[in-house]
Structure 1
């Protein structure tokens, strides 16, 4: 009996969270402009039609150096998110997505997407607020 009451309480909390969630809410960022990948012209991984599995519903804030090239995990299967750890190369996993190679214009903090549904890979564009993505994250 206690088990069912715990499950019922958990489902009530999740339902309240979903009802209080509004995808139209806008969070003001310091800089509302989404950064640009400086290597976008030199690589084609950003054109992949598939999108990865959501790793988390919240973006990851990270300080990036302008002189360094980074590899963002686009499959969502890696263990060192949001960066690629070559999990996509493991022969037992059927992963066809390749990491996104990117570089930034200046050294500062950036928000990197963890839901893997962004249209401006690897930077967060607020796609994690979509109700379908929120549902997918609740199942994780």
Structure 2
């Protein structure tokens, strides 16, 4: 075991972990932040997506010890950003298991690509999988937020 310090949702937290512990494991099992979901555990589904240094990353593929000098944002740290409301407004979820990962990815998309085209939106959303619903509602939610950004 080793002691590490992570910056999560703007707060510095210390925890003990093994060098092989994934960020997903540390978030859920050591820190009680359960918004990032274990799905495939091999980087395919995106249910575990968090934002590291402004970029969406799959926390199941990320070692916690590699992220000690970086800003990590989880779904718990978003606090009512526009994409969350857009998901509700456009019914962009069904069972909800994949929703935190999609919201994290979509939030990073609208921050990084405020002029995103349909093709860019599609490419970004390909990193996440939903088994319950189509992606059209999710795309509508992203487009809604992008149009809000353009109007402001």
Higher alpha-carbon Rg = 1
TM-score, normalising length from structure 2? 0.23
Q: Which has the higher strand share?
A: 2
| TM-score, length basis structure 1 | 0.24
Q: Which has the higher contact order (CA 8 A, sep 6+)?
A: 1
Structure that is richer in helix per residue? 2
